[in-house]
Amino acid sequence: MKLEWKKYSFGWQKETRLVLIDDDNVRRAIAIIVEHQKDKSETKSFYFYCTLHFGDTEGLFRSFESFEEAKREALQFLKKEAIESMKELTYIMNFIEKK
């Protein structure tokens, strides 16, 4: 498995996605940073959304002033979520092994 940042553009909206690629080359976005700037006179803003859990979307409901700030927050949020998921999966596996 590997993680890659991929850039996409949809008119005035740009997205940078953190994509998880498995050994069979199946790709799944686990985080999306959206850049908003309708015209050049408008200040850019960045929003982060997490899609780590089976397509559910969670977001930090505030804008960031730079891509780097949004990226840093995204990685911290994903790390926290991954640790929580590992705890849950370990509990489930231990429960199953006891049966």
**CB of 48 within 8 A of CB of 73?**
yes
Q: Is the pTM of this model over 0.85?
A: no
**Mean pLDDT, each 10-residue run in order, the chain (99 residues):** 91 86 88 84 85 63 84 88 89 91
Structure confidence by residue, pLDDT tens digits, 43-69: 888 888 887 665 566 666 578 889 999
For residue 86, give both structure tokens.
Answer: 């590992």
pLDDT of residue 59: 64
**Alpha-carbon torsion (29, 5, 68, 63), positive or negative:** negative
